[in-house]
Structure 1
């Protein structure tokens, strides 16, 4: 396209095209006509339809001429959200000669049904780009019996509207398009897409009013919307689905034969478990392909106190001795998954000796696993935490929560204790030596004060002594904690590893304070020197604090990712 003509199209200058009709045929390298160019460069708030109206009056065929991507002007107007432009395109479409409504060939409907290279109709584009006003225009004027099939990515307009979390778009499509298709990629439906959104209740009400059967429809893996709500810990969304259709809780997936209750238990989502048991209590006995009931999963993914909450329910408590295909009860799974982590043996019914004596098909009891382990079952559980089943379960079949949520971020791995012990011992040695090698020395003259520190009345010296003693006793405490960890009794009762790290950090800070105070005690007063030393001390404290804060934030983010994935992750996985 000639640059001058391109500029005229952008500015809406009709004169060059009216003077020479041949200019109307010019296109850009991407195949855009002057209509495409003008619509693309219009500001939505100040869009003018005059140029488009005049051009179409001169050359009506431009109305349906597509560019290299197959986009006609209506596609572009829908993408840009220009509702006024859509209306003027509708006007010229109705004025097309050679067709009549009574003859069944509505030119407006023909334009609305035209798709681009990605099989997107104008309605697809309007929904994708979030223009509610354009969506209402398109659906109101369209064929109420047209289904608006999926594009090349398997997405229908209704699915896209649900995935955007726009109840208004969903309502507009369903009210105007009686036959609107609801499919999405991977066999998902609009209800699958909607379940991952915060405003699910409103969207679900609109969808299920027209398509109630979607609560039972699974995707290519057999996952219903309730499976997704269960996996991604969406208790309120699960509650909405169960209120519409309680039978959805009985549907198992295709690969592992897991019901939504199994899925919720495998991820440790207690609120979803409680909602399912409340609305569909009869599903509690169902087992998966391995013969696991939901309590088998709960023993790995839930904390002991949460399992105790579930066991207050008599039917659930009856599952405690139910065996899977290999004869393993939930207690076998509990023992295998928690054996290397301290937990209360008095919780979860383990206080009864009879529970510890239950054996599986290999004649291995719960008590045996607690004492000696059971590598086969431990490996099976570990495999389930890593298996993602073709990407369907990004966090694994089981989300293992071996340590409580309140786990202290300073807990050390056994291999990391030696360096920390060396640091604590070094601090203890230095501070102990400093206590007897005081700044400026001792009084040497005979008398009552012989052997006392020369600077004993100096404020900075007193600060030095106090900080040095604090550092020394803290380092001794860290050393004692490291030694005590080796005793099983102390390891299970006290958080000694956590304590050792914390007191070592504070011992380092106290030692720096003692060092700075000692320097100030022996040097002559100087404002510049004092400021320099003070800035050094403050800088060190800020550095340590920054490191601590970063570690805490990183751990918090990791914990949040393990327990509650960010919404963008949910959307990416489910839609």
Structure 2
């Protein structure tokens, strides 16, 4: 018995992966190009049944490329190909139905195997009729239904019946046909387990289909989805107010039913910000405004929680919702509390400007909206929550009377967070101030225009007499000394306690703001000097520089003065910069997700 010279090579050959199917190149090329003569010649030379790598037969390929003559020839001479499936479980009829080619469907049904493939399902559980409906080919679907009206079709793996798919696409004639014939019908028990055609009609916004379904089977309208929602919930979730109107006219009780999360349809609409749907529900059921979630929240609470600014502002203007403005939820929170907790500055700003809102109300923890905002500010709060805090401060929101007592009960962990927050702020401002000091110091030795190299003015700046140069020198000097004072102040703060850090930051912020603004003006003046010979460029430098300096001031003023907003004058100073920030950044603070 001989031993192989290379055992490892033999092992590799035995363990090699399976080789994929392949079709003769000439045959494959003839089918894809639609060359019927070459196709016939290649088929005659083929020694066995040919399959492509995805297990496509010649009929699959001819159908995919819509070569009708080849399909006709195969259905006549080799009809058994009609029942063959590719790797995804598709027959040629599936492919033709997806393509919506009525002529291909007719050719395939000339085969003796035509009846057996109508109910064949692919890997997704779809028959050819499912595919025709899914891809929006109404005429092809009608042809397939007419081939056998007594055939029973099951639902696919997504739980979609033929009736569901037809309702979703809005095919009223097919919906009526399916309802009047055995084809595609399911028992009530099966419908409970699968997707309801009623929901499909709502999601597709097909009022005609909805009317047919109500006419034929009203019991299906009382079925709930897996989230416990009824059809009005579904219509409210997509802002289909025409559907809401139709359904509430038929069955007003839908408006008062709750899903598994305790949401009624009006809460769903409120969480999405769909004002038209809210108005439609209130028109039919005015007392639905009193409906509460499991947390005891009304529709204003829900809108505030989800940051629906436009709809919330409109809802505030509705007289019938006036009693909800200061209503408390299960935790004693008003809509103002909720908007603060979830950090929606535009909503907070709208509420603070409404005279009906009682801004000093406390929740069950004895906290006002400002107390809640300031708790967030003691940690590294998000920019959205900082804007929310600013909205309360510039409007003069009050703290609770027992705030000091409440704060005295805070844990050491809370104090550690506060100290860490102050240290982070000190480090950031210290870094910026150091950079400003370096830049302004260097600018003092690299002045625009340079120095005079000849007597009698040797060493004197060449542009000394120009106003813009004098502006540059003054601004650069003040900026440098301001930043140096900031650096020294914050160095002292590093060795102190929390209170000293707080005082140091209150001093450092405005000084750093002054340094940054004057550094910008100094840069603008120096650039103007060096390009002053070109009038349009000098004007452009002045315009751009002035614009950005104004923006810098507007952004920095709230940071400097909001901490002292108990003083009316500081609140006035901060209000307009805050409004600018809210306008620029407020659109990025909306929360678009349903809770």
Quick one: structure 1 residues 186 and 6, their matched pair in 2 at CA, closer, same or farther if it must change by over 3 Å? same
Match in the other structure for 1:15: 40
109, 120, 126: which is aligned to 1:120? 126
- Per-residue deviation, residues 227-253 of structure 1 (Å, max 9, x unmatched): 45645xx44x2x122121123432311
Counterparts of 1:497 and 1:208 in 2: how far apart (Å)?
Answer: 66
57, 62, 76: which is aligned to 1:38? 62
Counterparts of 2:587 and 2:358 in 1: how far apart (Å)?
Answer: 34
CA contact (8 A) 2:272 2:592 kept: no
Counterparts of 1:272 and 1:78 in 2: how far apart (Å)?
Answer: 38
Deviation of 1:257 after TM superposition, in Å, equals 1.5
Counterparts of 2:164 and 2:315 in 1: how far apart (Å)?
Answer: 37
Q: Secondary structure at the match of 1:113?
A: coil
Match in the other structure for 2:178: 177
Counterparts of 1:251 and 1:220 in 2: how far apart (Å)?
Answer: 15
202, 209, 220: which is aligned to 1:206? 209
Counterparts of 1:58 and 1:284 in 2: how far apart (Å)?
Answer: 70
CA contact (8 A) 1:216 1:251 kept: no
Match in the other structure for 1:278: 283
455, 461, 470: which is aligned to 2:463? 455
CA contact (8 A) 1:252 1:258 kept: yes
Q: Are 1:264 and 2:269 an aligned pair? A: yes
Match in the other structure for 1:410: none
Counterparts of 1:293 and 1:345 in 2: how far apart (Å)?
Answer: 16
Match in the other structure for 1:383: none
Counterparts of 2:164 and 2:352 in 1: how far apart (Å)?
Answer: 50
Match in the other structure for 2:92: 73
107, 117, 123: which is aligned to 1:111? 117
Q: Rg bigger for which structure?
A: 2
Match in the other structure for 2:244: 242
Deviation of 1:309 after TM superposition, in Å, equals 4.4
Deviation of 1:82 after TM superposition, in Å, equals 3.2
Deviation of 1:75 after TM superposition, in Å, equals 1.3
Quick one: structure 1 residues 112 and 228, their matched pair in 2 at CA, closer, same or farther if it must change by over 3 Å? same
Deviation of 1:84 after TM superposition, in Å, equals 1.8
CA contact (8 A) 1:331 1:366 kept: no
> Which structure 2 residues correspond to residues 45-60 of structure 1 after superposition, within 5 A?
47-60=66-79
Counterparts of 2:163 and 2:354 in 1: how far apart (Å)?
Answer: 47
Query: What is the alpha-carbon root mean square deviation over aligned residues?
Result: 5.7
Match in the other structure for 2:562: none
CA contact (8 A) 1:427 1:507 kept: no
> Which structure 2 residues correspond to residues 181-192 of structure 1 after superposition, within 5 A?
187-190=194-197, 192=199
CA contact (8 A) 1:24 1:34 kept: no
Deviation of 1:220 after TM superposition, in Å, equals 0.6
CA contact (8 A) 2:344 2:385 kept: no
Q: Secondary structure at the match of 2:60?
A: helix
Deviation of 1:272 after TM superposition, in Å, equals 4.2
Q: Are 1:82 and 2:101 an aligned pair? A: yes
CA contact (8 A) 2:94 2:128 kept: yes
Q: Are 1:134 and 2:140 an aligned pair? A: yes
Counterparts of 1:83 and 1:227 in 2: how far apart (Å)?
Answer: 39
Quick one: structure 1 residues 516 and 320, their matched pair in 2 at CA, closer, same or farther if it must change by over 3 Å? closer
Counterparts of 1:204 and 1:230 in 2: how far apart (Å)?
Answer: 14
> Which structure 2 residues correspond to residues 493-512 of structure 1 after superposition, within 5 A?
504=516
TM-score normalised per structure 1: 0.59
Counterparts of 1:251 and 1:431 in 2: how far apart (Å)?
Answer: 68
> Which structure 2 residues correspond to residues 300-379 of structure 1 after superposition, within 5 A?
300-302=305-307, 307=312, 309-320=314-325, 324-325=329-330, 333=338, 343=349, 347=353, 356=361, 360=364, 364-365=365-366, 367=368, 370-371=370-371
Q: Secondary structure at the match of 2:118?
A: helix
Deviation of 1:334 after TM superposition, in Å, equals 5.7
Counterparts of 2:458 and 2:231 in 1: how far apart (Å)?
Answer: 85
Unmatched 5+ stretches in structure 1: 97-106, 379-399, 408-412, 484-495, 526-533, 549-554
Quick one: structure 1 residues 305 and 146, their matched pair in 2 at CA, closer, same or farther if it must change by over 3 Å? same
TM-score normalised per structure 2: 0.57
421, 425, 432: which is aligned to 1:423? 432
Deviation of 1:74 after TM superposition, in Å, equals 0.8
- Per-residue deviation, residues 301-341 of structure 1 (Å, max 9, x unmatched): 35789656434445433345655555656566467557999
> Matched residue pairs, number?
456
Quick one: structure 1 residues 346 and 17, their matched pair in 2 at CA, closer, same or farther if it must change by over 3 Å? closer
Q: Secondary structure at the match of 2:129?
A: helix
Quick one: structure 1 residues 309 and 78, their matched pair in 2 at CA, closer, same or farther if it must change by over 3 Å? closer
Quick one: structure 1 residues 229 and 498, their matched pair in 2 at CA, closer, same or farther if it must change by over 3 Å? farther
Q: Secondary structure at the match of 1:292?
A: coil
Match in the other structure for 1:530: none
Deviation of 1:181 after TM superposition, in Å, equals 5.8
Quick one: structure 1 residues 134 and 557, their matched pair in 2 at CA, closer, same or farther if it must change by over 3 Å? farther
CA contact (8 A) 2:55 2:87 kept: yes
Q: Secondary structure at the match of 1:219?
A: coil
CA contact (8 A) 1:287 1:293 kept: yes
Counterparts of 2:429 and 2:341 in 1: how far apart (Å)?
Answer: 31
Match in the other structure for 1:150: 155
Match in the other structure for 2:555: none
Quick one: structure 1 residues 8 and 501, their matched pair in 2 at CA, closer, same or farther if it must change by over 3 Å? farther
238, 259, 263: which is aligned to 1:253? 259
> Which structure 2 residues correspond to residues 507-546 of structure 1 after superposition, within 5 A?
none
294, 300, 319: which is aligned to 1:295? 300
